[in-house]
Each structure stands twice: as C-alpha cells, then as structure tokens.
Structure 1
Amino acid sequence: MGLLIQGSPLNWEETKKYADHVRKHGIVQFLNIYNKLKDRQKDVLKWGDEVEYMLVAMDHNYQKVRLVLSGGDVLHTLQEKGENANPNHPTLWRPEYGSYMIEGTPGQPYGGTMSEFNTVEDNMRKRRREASSLLKENQILCTLTAFPRLGCPSFTFPEFDPKPVEKGASKSLFFPDEAINQHPRFSTLTRNIRHRRGEKVVINVPIFKDINTPSPFIEKFPTDDGEAERAALPDHIYMDCMGFGMGNSCLQVTFQACSISEARYLYDQLATICPIVMALSAASPFYRGYVSDNDCRWGVISASVDDRTREERGLEPLKHNKYRINKSRYDSIDSYLSCCGEKYNDIELTIDEEINRQLLEAGIDKLLAQHIAHLFIRDPLTLFEERINLDDENESDHFENIQSTNWQTMRFKPPPPNSDIGWRVEFRPMEVQLTDFENSAYVVFVVLLTRVILSYKLDFLIPLSKVDENMKVAQRRNAVLEGMFYFRKDIFTGCNPVADGGASAQNGLDNDNEECALMSIDTIINGKEGVFHGLIPILNCYLGNMEVDVETRCTILNYLKLIKKRASGELMTTARWMREFVANHPEYKQDSVITDKINYDLIVKCDQIANRAAWCPELIGDPVNRAK
C-alpha cells in the first residue's frame, strides 16, 4: 500500500511546513522521469494482480470469529522464506493497512501470451496455501472485502478496547489503534488525516430497512464526547476512522503499456469500465455489525480518508485553505488523459495553476499537465525526517508521496527512476471475491478487455460526469441487476488514440445524448440485439481469432461464463449471496443486525467455499475443474 519507508515520521504540523517543499521537488522528480522516458517505446505488455487477505481466528466453542492482529509476523516469515531467500520466488508479500491484513502478488509479472491466463489461479492458490501454512490452529486466511463485524466489541484477537483519546492515531469509538499495521506510515497517515481535516472522518452508510429495523434507526454512543452524535445521520450506520475503509480488502490489476500514449489511452478507456466491474464484483453489504443498503465499499473507503477541511468541503468560506475540493482523495478520476478523452472532460477540475504553468513551460501537454496539477492540490500526509532532502535525479519519493495518496479508480503510474519498468496503469475498483477461481475470473476478464481495447481500438468514452453518476449507481444494493448505467452505444468508431488532440475535441459535447445511453449491466456485458454488442461476445470474437491451446481456452471460457452469469443474474454476486445467507439464518431477527453467531456461520461457510470443502453453485456455477 503506497510508499513504505523506514524513518522518523513527522506529525501534521511538522509535515505541513514541508508541503510546498514536497510539491516543488515532486514536480521536479516527475519532470526528470518524463524527460528521460517520454519517448520510450515497445515495452512488453506485462501485468499483475494484487489480492488482499484477512487473518481470522475461529472460536468454535463460543461460535465467534475475530480478526487476528498478527499480520506483521506472518508477513515477515513469508518474506524471509520467499523473496529474501529466492529472488525468483513465485509470490511476493506486502503489508496492508490493518494489522490483520497482508497483500499477495505474483513473484514476477505475467507476460503477453494467452497461456499466462492458465497460471493465474494456480498462483493465487499458491499464495493462499503459503500464507495459510503459517497460521495457528483455528486460524484461517480469508478474501473478504469487508469483515461484517469490523468495529464491533471484541472484534480483534487479541482483544483491545478502542481508546478515543486525542493522542491516539484514530480517536475512534470502535476501531482500536492496535488493529492498525505497526509500520509508522499507517498510524501517521491515520492521525495526520484527522489533524489536517480538523475533526474525525465521518462515514455514514444507509442501513437496510428490514421488517424489524427501528425507524428511524438512531444509535447511541456511550463513550462519545458529542462528535459522533453530531456526525451520525438517522437511518445510517456511522463509522469514524480510516480503518473502516482502508481496513477492507480489494482486488487490483496493474498493466505495463508499450508506451506513454498507450498507457494514457488505456487509463481513459478503463475508467469508464470501473463502475461496471465494481457492481459486478460487489461483495461488501455489511458494516459494523449491520446490514447496509449498499453492496460496495467504495463510498466507505472514500469517506475514511477524506482529509478535506470544512473550507475545502465548501462548508465555510475560504480563509486558511487555497481551494474548494469537490472529492475525497479516494474517488473516481477527474480528467481523461488521452486526446480521445479531451472533449469528454466535463467535470470542473481544480488545479494548482502555478504547477500547471510550470509543467506547460517544461513541455508537458495540456491534458497531462492538468492531471498532475490536479493531484498536487493535495498536501503530503506522511513525511519522514530522513527523507526530506532527496536526489531529484534518481529518486521519486516526493512525487510518489502525493501520487500514492490520490487513491482513484484508475492510477496512471510513471516508471520508477533507474528501473526497467515502463509506463503503467492500475485498475482499482474491484472488490475481492471469496475464491481464487472468482478472483482469477475478474482479473482475466479485465486483462482480456485491455487486449481487445488495444487490438480493436475500441472507444468506451463518455462524459466523465456520467461516469461519476455510474459510480454512485454501482454501489447500491443489487445494482448489478437493478442499476442502469450510461454506456457508449458505438464503441467501434472512436477517435485514433495517437491522433492530434485538437481534431477529437473540436465537436465538444454536442452529441452526448446520441453517443451514450442508459443500459443494464446484462446488456453491457452480454449484449442486446439492436442496442449493444456486449463485451463478452466481443471477447469471444477476439479469442476466436487467436491461437489458443485447448486447456487455456477452457480456462478462459470458464472465467467468462462466471462474468456472463453474474451480469445476467443467473449467478449471484458475493454481496447478494451474503445477504441471502443472513436473511435465511435462523438467528436473524429481520432487524438488520449481524450477531456473533450469524457472523461465525457466515465466515465458516465462506472458508468452506474458498477451500472447496463446500459447493456453492448459486455463487460460482459449475466450472470445469482442471486444476489439481
């Protein structure tokens, strides 16, 4: 997660003094990278996935599950036995925000051949086995997007009570600081977000109104000093710290493009796909022991790191801050990067004018300059005393300080200095699934989509304001079946991604209403005669024109079948399956409450499904099992 270095972290007041220094040198570092590598071409198409895991303790006697705060020890052992012993080890492990979390990736990136798709699931299984082998008795490794009782009393093992005191990292009523990764970056990030904002973060998720849910649903907080009472909304589940967002798990994919122009083109095209795939992968309907009316974590994590002051949020006149800022640091993208996307940039973009001017004068084009100048309206949130003065020719920590704390649906990633890594884009909206099969299916679907976009020069672009509307729809309960999403009708007659930007922009947005229409996810994924081709039929057409061995084709078709059936409703999303499990549980009182017993039975079932000890055809279907 982000930039991890060792050193002495500065508090917010100290960090703030160096904010302009970080921005100034961050821009110099970006320009140095750009000028060295802007003409770099013909990089091999590589890609890799990231899966975030939770460590869970099963108390079978009391039928209770808790999150195990031993992620640091497990991570250390995995690294010592893995990459530190063998640079070619097939897995890599990294820390994550929660001390109950770890992140696993393949040891080396996957390449451009179709046969690579046949190894993804095997590698994910290897990761699961590797980490699981280090756990103690009655402990399991889970790929849950959101632990249902995160923030409930005694949700950690060992147990710690929250200490909502000012000197703590989060000051949370529910989430103990011990549940935060012990690397100083994470607690510093948590504390500095709160101090910069001037108050605790506020997360309100609408509660699902069942038959016996109180109406209005209003909570009392016994240890509250008044802040929670003021912040909590009626009929909402209230949460108050970064851990409720960054303490969730996700599934991400990073692609290396052949050139900077190809990376920018992919960034734009995939940005429109983000809400669709997020709704398809919906897996987080429960928060703080309650059933919510949302299926995805995106709004929760966005609010959990929202460091904007009251002035920046437009609640008070600008006096101490420079900008009104429309979104959290964790949100959907605000501008397209390619010439194809320029005419669809219809969101008001707040930029640092001085930085924008500096970039333009240095030869950066308008679209990339405004993208960077927009990211750099943010302050650095963590800074280490030992890393203030850097070699701007050979280091990029100050650039990454700002870049890596702008957590958007897509991330455009310049190469690190002095490396053989090319220009990359990261696809970030997916929710992690219960099984390696499902996670592999979503990863392969997105990677295949990038191949088709590049091969057929597809154009998914629509006005960014409509992408933002899609993001809101995608999070709602059962959006995959009930939501309607703006999508481009003709994806085969877009602009040339390497053409001059002026020609593509000249018509403005006059033809918006003709270019896109509201569609169901079933139509977008599977197609509808006379309306839209469908992404799966296009992928199948692409595969039909490729030389693919029988085993790989079988694997890919299994994955696409899962996506196809999730889109049509023949198979459930993880969120819907979890809702039905709780609704049908004998202890559920139709009051939107998830008790310890319900949570225990749910996690037991999830673990059985993940390890293929239980069959769940309504969630996964009946894939051909080729793996050993």
Structure 2
Amino acid sequence: MGVVTTDEIFTWEESKKHRDYVRWHGVLQFINLWKKSKDRKNDEFKWGDELEFTLVKFDDEKKIAKLNLISHKLLPILNEKETANPNGVDCIWRPEFGSYQLEGIPGQPYGGLLSDFKIVEKNMRNRRLEVMEYLKSDEVIMMLTMLPRMGCPNSTDPLEQPSPNSNDYASLFVAGNTVNQQFLRWRRTSVNLRARRNEVLAINLPIFKDKNVPEPFREDLRAFNDDGKCEAHAKDDHVYMDATGFGMGCCCLQVTFQGRDMQEARVLYDQLTPFVPIMVALTAACPIFRGYLTDIDSRVLSCIDSVDDRTLGERGLEPLKDNEMLIRTSRNGSTEWYLTEEGNQYNDVNLEYDEKLYQLLRDHEVDRILAQHIAHLFVRDSLCLNSMALQSNDETDTDLFEIIQGTTWRTMRFKPPPANLSIGWRVEFRPCDIQITDFENAATACFIALLTRVILSFNLNLLIPLTKVEENLHRSYKRDAINKEKFWFQRDITRSETEKKLSIDEELSELTIDEIINGKTETFVGIIPLMNSYLDNMNVDSETRCTIQQYLDLFQKRASGKLMTDAAWIRKQVTSHPQYKKDSIVSDRISYDLVKKIYEIQMNTKQHPETFLSY
C-alpha cells in the first residue's frame, strides 16, 4: 500500500517545484540507510502476505451487487485492537486505494518453519470473520479482484455521480468517493498523476468478441458526458476506462520475504522475477471490466495503464521539454533491472536513469548495479509530496526515498530495511490476482514461499533476459494463457550443464505452464518435482506435508488443465447465465448472481471442484 500520510499533499503544480530536491535528497536518504544496513547479516527468514479485500453491499430486492464505500468508517474500529496490543493481534488492517477496499496482513510474520504453512489459511479466514462482526446483514467482505460492474451506473453505495469535467477526480465512469476517504494520499496521487500526464488516462482492454458483439465494438462516450477528450483515446474493439481506480483499485495478493542479508534478498529478487508471468497466468481471476467480458484474464494490463503519468514527450510522441527524458514504461509493470552480478548479464532493457544521481550513489560506494536501479527509480516525480516529507532528516529518515519507491509499482519490489526498525532486507512478490477462496490464497502464498526455499537450497537458475520476462508478462494476462500460451524459460534451471559454454539464446526454451510446473519428460525437471524433492529432504511432519501437498496439487492440476483458473470459472458463469445474450455484457443481474455465488463459495455454502480442491 505504501506511504500513508494525513498531512496535506501538494498539488502537482506545487509538487513539481520541489522535484530536484526530492530526487537528490531521496537518494541521499537511501545512501545513508544503505550505509547503516549493507553489512547486516544473519536475519531470520520471515515472510507474510497482504490480502486486499472488497466490501460489497447486496440489494437482494433489485438483484444488484454494489461496492460498499465504508472502509474509512471500518478502519478506525478495526485498528483499535492493534493500538491496544500491537503484538497480540492475529491480523493488522491498513487502508487501500478504494473506499471499498481493506488490506489485511498477519499480526506477526511467519517464520522459517514449514509447519507455519498450516496456519496461513486459518489466518486468512479469520481476517474476513473479524470484519464481518462490524457489517450489516446486507454487507459482506469478499475476495474479489474487481466488482464486475465497477464504473457502471448504480454500482456504488452511497451513489455519487461521476464528474468528468471537474478539476479533481475527473472520470466519465467513477466518482471521487470511490477513492479512500480517510487518507488523501491516493486521491491526490490520482489527480497529480493525470495533471503530470497532462492528458486523460487511456486504459483500453480488448473486448471478448462473442457472437453478438458489434463489429467493430465502440461505445458512444458522449452518453457519459465526454467532451471528446476520451473519445480520442478509445480504441475500436476495446473497453475504455479513464481512471486510476480501474487498475490500482483492483484487489491482489502480495507476498513479502526477508532475506538473511542484502545479497540473499537481491538473489531472490532476481530469481523470482522470471516466475512473475507464470504466477500471473496461474492466478488469473479478473476477466470482467466495467460490465464487459474482456479478452484478458488478469488485472495486470489495467494496472500498468492506470498509473502511466508520462507526458507525450516522455512517451516519444512529441519533442522533449525541459526536465523530460524518454521513459520506456509506466510506473507499473515488469521488473526492469536485475540486481546481482549473475543477473546483470541478462539486463538487456534500455534502462534510463539520472546520471547525476547515479554518480552520487557511486561516489558513496554503492555498487554500479544497485546504483543504476536506484537512479532509475528517481527519474520519476513525486505524486504525493507533503510538507512534512520536505522537512525530513536525510541521516535518520526515509520519507523522500519512500515517496518515490512506494509509488513505483513494479511486479517485484526490492525493499531496504525501514529506518529505526528491526526489519531486514526484503523482496515483495506483487503480481497475483486475489483468489476466490482462502484455500487458493493460502496455496498461492505458500507456493511462492516454498519456491524461495527451493531456489536457495538447490541454487536454481531461473534467469532469462528481461526483455523475455516482459514478453512473457504480455502473454500471461491473455485469455486462457495458462493453456494456450508458451513462455520463455531457462532450459537448465538446476545448472546441470553449467560446464557447457552456451549463449543466452541457447539457454532458453519456450515451455507451456504445464511443462514449467510439472516437468517435461527427460528435458525439463519441473518446479513441483523440485519442491517435492526439497520436502523429501526436510524433516516435515505428516500434517504439514499433507497441507503442502494439497496446495501443490492445486497448481499441478491448474497447470495441467485439469482445474480452471478463477478467471476461466468466472467467464463460464457469465456465458452460461440464462440472461447472457452473447454480447459480452455483464448485466446487473448476471453480476449479482455471480458475486452471490462467489460469496457463497467463500462461506463454504457452495463447492466448485472444477476451480479449486476441497478437502
């Protein structure tokens, strides 16, 4: 979720006056933090997950499911337990982008014992149950990547009309009250992002071309009071959206790991990066946007486009102006730089970075690879600057560093130790859609945690060129990518052929998800067989091994096509609904029935074994 502040956040016009100061002093703050922490050793392996929940209100009479905009009312109540006993709570609650969102994390991190895997699912379930104590009979908390009709008329409670021509949260489809109403950081970030871009946001997702979808498909945006600005950015055969909330308002599962030291954290950052697209495909759970079935299965593309604050010049569409440089990507997207010496040979993207800041980092003996990464982060501007951050002490604080770091949302994040806390060097794995059930979310978190142990124990090599990782990411969110796409992958992940002199191209293969996860006869060992080999060598009690095996079975069967992803199951519920007209429109009634069924599944009143395993 990043930096939270209650101090007034500057407008973009105010903020850009301080851009050079923020960049210089933000890097100085990192340097001082790095000097204090670079030799830190032997931290315990700890990890934890973050679940982003959706608050929904059902109108059972009218058969409508709406976003329930009450998170700002619930958070103070939920935080009372933590305030009274910070070390004695099962779960901790934090604000998220939307007024309909809550972020829940374990009260204490999990440790290095595999037996901790047994308590993950229970903790996730307890988070929902805790919130339910404070909800009315028509209100629920759900694990839902995005409400199917977010951005459609009458999709929020309370209802507020969008204000597309305002100077604040201007959108054709969503009103300003959908953004968190307790902490102004997200609202100001969204407004400043659009002001910096100096143009409307353009999120275009390909529509699912069912039998009765018009050819070409194109909405008349004048019906939403468009003055022509959005019409110019909407593409034929795409669902158009214009607000940060259509990406950053999606809910996800993130997992953070603490390494023994900085080097181990950098190894995990690099080695997990090529696995990001694989997990996007395996956890895809979001085929519907703004009431339409799309031809993608995940929130990834909408997240990338929803925070693209680059100007026309920075995107290469007009001559550069003062203080501009060509910037290759949005603030969200694929990892752009490996951080280890081994990974550096696969750093094949044209990474832009601030030369003066790079030299500042090198002058303070930060190694060149990490220096390039930090100097690259700081080509961005601050979108949520406040006066308190400008007063921070470079020797002891990290406010200005975190203001940039925390608003650059790559699929992996390298996290230095926080100032004045006992936490060590960490990496955050960020690409997974939130899953429908506690079981699936626990399986996902534990699967990634187990993968980190296997990577380090077997010294695996998953590294591939970052241009191939990016190519894989763009394959991973397509409809049914898990079964239809192939992905670039390291052919010899166990390094059994390291004595052979191979070019980078010769190291790579294009493999299916099934082959990557379950193995390919005699040519590729497979991730799950390696996990089972690791477990065979560990002293694992039978109950823990049974729990882990259930989680591995989920991914083994999804990868092989025996089980659906959540996205495929959701798509099936829509297309088989008696009121569906093969026009890719998800009506209020279809959405209501779908969301009700998902809620019943989450409450264990319905079972759908084609999507997940029930034990």
TM-score by length of 2: 0.98
Q: CA deviation at 1:137?
A: 1.3
SS at match of 1:462: coil
Partner of 1:187: 187
Q: CA deviation at 1:386?
A: 2.8
1:558-597 counterparts in 2 under 5 A?
Answer: 558-597=550-589
1:61-80 counterparts in 2 under 5 A?
Answer: 61-80=61-80
Residue type matched to 2:176 in 1? D
Partner of 2:427: 425
- The yes-or-no answer on 1:491 pairing with 2:493 is yes
Task: Supply the distance in 2 between the matched residues of 1:363 and 1:337 (Cα, whole angstroms).
Answer: 15
Among all aligned residue pairs of Structure 1 and Structure 2, give the percentage whose two residues are the same amino acid.
Answer: 49
Q: CA deviation at 1:165?
A: 2.5
Partner of 1:470: 472
Deviates more, 1:223-232 or 1:487-496: 487-496
SS at match of 1:228: coil
Residue type matched to 1:181 in 2? N
Partner of 2:342: 340
Q: CA deviation at 1:321?
A: 3.9
Task: Supply the distance in 2 between the matched residues of 1:220 and 1:495 (Cα, whole angstroms).
Answer: 58
- The yes-or-no answer on 1:263 pairing with 2:265 is yes
Query: Given the alignment, which residue of 350, 360, 374 partners 1:358?
Result: 360
Q: Is the CA contact 1:340–1:495 (under 8 Å) kept in the aligned structure 2?
A: no
Residue type matched to 1:357 in 2? Q
Task: Supply the distance in 1 between the matched residues of 2:131 and 2:323 (Cα, whole angstroms).
Answer: 45
Partner of 1:532: 524
Partner of 1:501: none
Q: Is the CA contact 1:104–1:127 (under 8 Å) kept in the aligned structure 2?
A: yes
SS at match of 1:6: coil
Pick closer, same or farther for the CA change 1:86–1:463 going to 2, 3 Å.
closer
Task: Supply the distance in 2 between the matched residues of 1:131 and 1:495 (Cα, whole angstroms).
Answer: 52
Partner of 1:520: 512
Residue type matched to 2:471 in 1? E
1:35-114 counterparts in 2 under 5 A?
Answer: 35-114=35-114
- The yes-or-no answer on 1:276 pairing with 2:278 is yes
Q: Is the CA contact 2:200–2:230 (under 8 Å) kept in the aligned structure 1?
A: no
Q: Is the CA contact 1:83–1:89 (under 8 Å) kept in the aligned structure 2?
A: no
Task: Supply the distance in 2 between the matched residues of 1:300 and 1:269 (Cα, whole angstroms).
Answer: 25
1:161-208 CA-partner distances (Å, limit 9, x unpaired): 101123222x10001001000111111101100100001211000000
SS at match of 1:175: coil
1:150-229 counterparts in 2 under 5 A?
Answer: 150-169=150-169, 171-182=170-181, 183-221=183-221, 222=223, 223-229=225-231
Q: Is the CA contact 2:148–2:289 (under 8 Å) kept in the aligned structure 1?
A: yes
Task: Supply the distance in 1 between the matched residues of 2:543 and 2:72 (Cα, whole angstroms).
Answer: 38
SS at match of 2:342: helix
Task: Supply the distance in 2 between the matched residues of 1:86 and 1:283 (Cα, whole angstroms).
Answer: 33
Partner of 2:443: 441
Query: Given the alignment, which residue of 375, 378, 399 partners 2:377?
Result: 375
Q: Is the CA contact 1:458–1:494 (under 8 Å) kept in the aligned structure 2?
A: no
1:94-138 CA-partner distances (Å, limit 9, x unpaired): 000000000000001100011111110010011010012211111
1:539-592 CA-partner distances (Å, limit 9, x unpaired): 001001101111111110000000111111100000000011101000000000
Residue type matched to 1:517 in 2? S
Q: CA deviation at 1:147?
A: 1.3
Partner of 1:605: 597
Pick closer, same or farther for the CA change 1:83–1:481 going to 2, 3 Å.
farther
Q: Is the CA contact 2:87–2:108 (under 8 Å) kept in the aligned structure 1?
A: no
Partner of 1:123: 123
Runs of 4+ in 1 over 6 A off after TM superposition: none
Q: Is the CA contact 1:8–1:386 (under 8 Å) kept in the aligned structure 2?
A: no
- The yes-or-no answer on 1:291 pairing with 2:290 is no
1:384-440 CA-partner distances (Å, limit 9, x unpaired): 123312111111000001111110011000001121100000000001001100000
Pick closer, same or farther for the CA change 1:383–1:494 going to 2, 3 Å.
farther
Task: Supply the distance in 1 between the matched residues of 2:280 and 2:527 (Cα, whole angstroms).
Answer: 15
- The yes-or-no answer on 1:511 pairing with 2:503 is yes
Task: Supply the distance in 1 between the matched residues of 2:166 and 2:14 (Cα, whole angstroms).
Answer: 17
Structure 2: stretches of 5+ with no match in the other structure: none
TM-score by length of 1: 0.96
Partner of 2:461: 459
Task: Supply the distance in 2 between the matched residues of 1:206 and 1:366 (Cα, whole angstroms).
Answer: 40
Task: Supply the distance in 2 between the matched residues of 1:227 and 1:167 (Cα, whole angstroms).
Answer: 14
Q: Is the CA contact 1:268–1:337 (under 8 Å) kept in the aligned structure 2?
A: yes
Instruction: Give me the CA root mean square deviation.
Output: 1.3
